[in-house]
């Protein structure tokens, strides 16, 4: 799904791919959470920043709620990206600082 976001696909194709992953992973909240994160970034690329923020937050909450707080912190890059695209540099900075604090606490930054 990251390739759909950061790869060469057109945005609409990436959105369709992430939606398929999300919809097919009915019994796998980890995949659904990751699909929401990537889909959110793609929605922001298409100009829908409110929906992008909503999907990224939903996905990060799902991932963290499963006990993968480190993975959620690493996936915050998409939340950062959404805010950069939206032009909210203060929000992007907050997201990056929060993620780095989690990574430092785990000894990874």
Residue range 26-76, pLDDT digits in tens: 999 999 999 999 999 999 999 999 999 999 999 999 999 999 988 999 999
Determine the length of the chain. 109
Look up the pTM and report it. 0.91
Question: Is the C-alpha dihedral spanning 89, 92, 96, 97 positive or negative?
Answer: positive
Structural domains of the chain, ranges and CATH numbers in brackets = 2-105 (1.25.40)
pLDDT confidence of residue 107: 79
Q: How far apart are CA 98 and CA 103, in angstroms?
A: 9
């Amino acid at each position: 799904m990251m390739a759909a976001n950061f790869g060469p696909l057109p945005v609409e194709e990436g959105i369709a791919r992430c939606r398929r992953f999300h919809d097919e992973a009915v019994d796998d909240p980890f995949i659904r959470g990751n699909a929401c994160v990537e889909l959110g970034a793609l929605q922001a690329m298409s100009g829908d920043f409110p929906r992008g923020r909503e999907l990224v937050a939903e996905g990060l909450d799902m991932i963290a709620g499963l006990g993968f707080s480190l993975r959620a912190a690493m996936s915050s890059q998409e939340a950062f990206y959404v805010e950069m695209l939206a032009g909210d540099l203060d929000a992007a900075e907050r997201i990056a600082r929060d993620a780095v604090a989690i990574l430092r606490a785990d000894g990874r930054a």
